[in-house]
Structure 1
């Protein structure tokens, strides 16, 4: 929970990171062959991380468990996110994935018998309502959307995991060093998977798809790097809450630019989730 005021600079960095995060996710969803899109995004991450690793050297020995743990969680996160985007619409999958993480953390605290203040309990209820609204299409939860929603919820659990790991890491490890090795290790996974599945066809993709994916990867690096810098403020919960304003941006992108159904309803539901996240982190 929030124990440290968030400086104005950290607020600005986190809001920019939220915008960039929604943008690169939209790019990943928009590339026709989404596996190729994730592969190109991963390539950019690996290249940027590799350059940083060469220039900055290895992290301290004590940081390696964090680097390896976060990289592994990010690989699983990317696989689940890819699955979600294969199965469902962006304006539904993205907000559910992002909104699930703080909800899971709060529910675990309750399950462990910890007492939450009234505002946080209200926040859990508000997030629950928002997530349920995002799951409903046309007044009901359509059976066809369940696989996508399941992948989105699992993605959110991974987000909760790597957020905790990263917050602990940046408290003792220089952000540029940690981020470089994290991007290098997790970025290489999706290109390797795409190569194994697409083989030679991977090298015969339309130029527009390749450039979009590579550009999305650069945006992804910038977004996550900004969050790591913001987390050095010590207000981890505040950063995590403010970062999830990206779910509103994501719902708007799906509605305005991708022309998806139930746009207005999903934007409202995403806003409800964002309000709940703020209450949970009060």
Structure 2
């Protein structure tokens, strides 16, 4: 991974952490995902006349990604219903890079080098440790919560691989990202209305400015990641994106006044070590 790609993905991770921090103090995770997806779609609409129309293979990958995003949202909702947010979400995110790595090896023969593999493992370990700081032990989670969280990670890995391959098939990563974001925003909004109905409409009426801004941040971050996946192995980029958890921790401690615990310090060390290993790889 070149220094330019590495720096761009770290910048995307910071953007990802920033929009999550903005949402954290206002909305629950499901509302934030729905509102941000809609914001990404609205922010991407002006780009459509200026980017290439996706070719047939890119549309196939967009379709696959949309289906996987639906599964991701449905299982994430169930994970939140039966488990603790602070543990189920990091559990899902921490498993995804490992599954993406396995999928990359099996499907497209992208085998990480020794340093890259070490970085992926260290970043995943740091994410799991961050899950432990969420107010209890992983053993205290009921089997249903663990099952839903791990299934969510399968969908995260799936749409990461689909979008990485789709961006490679498209004329440009930006054209793929713009069309994907518009389509996904429509699908996410429809799904959210089915689950939340009038309550979500009321949230949108009040928080639409926040949704547009976080959509810009989230869309920009993921567009950078998709571009990076055209320049570097998908698994390495997907893992490096998880350094957003480190940035989120820093924001929560220094901006939101949350406490730095031993678990957080340990997870930060693992994540930093993983970032260094990925750069060396």
TM-score range, shorter chain: 0.7 to 0.9
Q: Number of aligned residue pairs: give it.
A: 275
Once the two structures are superposed, what CA deviation does each residue of 1:169-193 show, in whole Å capped at 9, x if it has no partner? 2223122221111101111222212
| Equivalence for 1:141 | 138
Change (3 A) 1:273 1:93: farther
Conserved in 1, the CA contact under 8 Å of 2:167 and 2:177?
A: no
From 54, 69, 75, the equivalent of 2:70 is: 75
Range with greater deviation from structure 2 (121-130 or 160-169):
121-130
Distance 1:278 1:157 in 2: 26
Conserved in 1, the CA contact under 8 Å of 2:5 and 2:231?
A: yes
| Equivalence for 2:14 | 19
Distance 1:110 1:226 in 2: 23
From 39, 51, 67, the equivalent of 1:44 is: 39
| Equivalence for 1:59 | 54
Distance 2:193 2:161 in 1: 31
Deviation at 1:224, TM superposition (A): 0.8
Distance 1:186 1:64 in 2: 13
- Cα RMSD over matched residues? 3.8
From 209, 212, 216, the equivalent of 1:211 is: 209
Distance 1:268 1:196 in 2: 41
* TM-score w.r.t. length of structure 1: 0.75
Deviation at 1:161, TM superposition (A): 1.6
* TM-score w.r.t. length of structure 2: 0.76
Deviation at 1:142, TM superposition (A): 5.0
Once the two structures are superposed, what CA deviation does each residue of 1:198-257 show, in whole Å capped at 9, x if it has no partner? 333333338663332332112111111111222332444443343222121133344455
From 157, 162, 166, the equivalent of 1:160 is: 157
Distance 2:208 2:150 in 1: 29
